[in-house]
Amino acid sequence: MSLAVRKRYVPDLGAQMACCEGNYLKLMRLMPDLDDCDLREFHVSWHHHRARVQIRVEERFTYTTTLRVEQRYEDNQWIQMPALMVRLYHDARMAEVICRKQRRQLAGRYSYPNAQMHQPDEKAQLNRYLGEWLSQCLAHGHNSDRPVEA
Domain boundaries, the chain: 36-143
- CA 97 – CA 86 distance, rounded (Å): 4
Contact 100, 130 (CB under 8 A): no
Q: What is the pLDDT of residue 57?
A: 95
Q: What is the pTM of this model?
A: 0.78
Cβ neighbours around 52 below 10 Å, total: 14
Average pLDDT over residues 90-119: 72
Q: Is the pLDDT of residue 139 over 80?
A: yes
What's the mean per-residue pLDDT of the chain? 80
Q: What is the pLDDT of residue 150?
A: 47
pLDDT tens by residue, 107-136: 555 566 666 656 657 788 889 989 998 998
Q: 3-7, 79-83, 94-98, 109-113: which has the minimum mean pLDDT?
A: 109-113
Q: Output the DSSP codes for 61-130.
A: -SSEEEEEEEEEESS-TT--PPPEEEEEETTTTEEEEEEETTSPPPPS---SS-TT---TTHHHHHHHHH
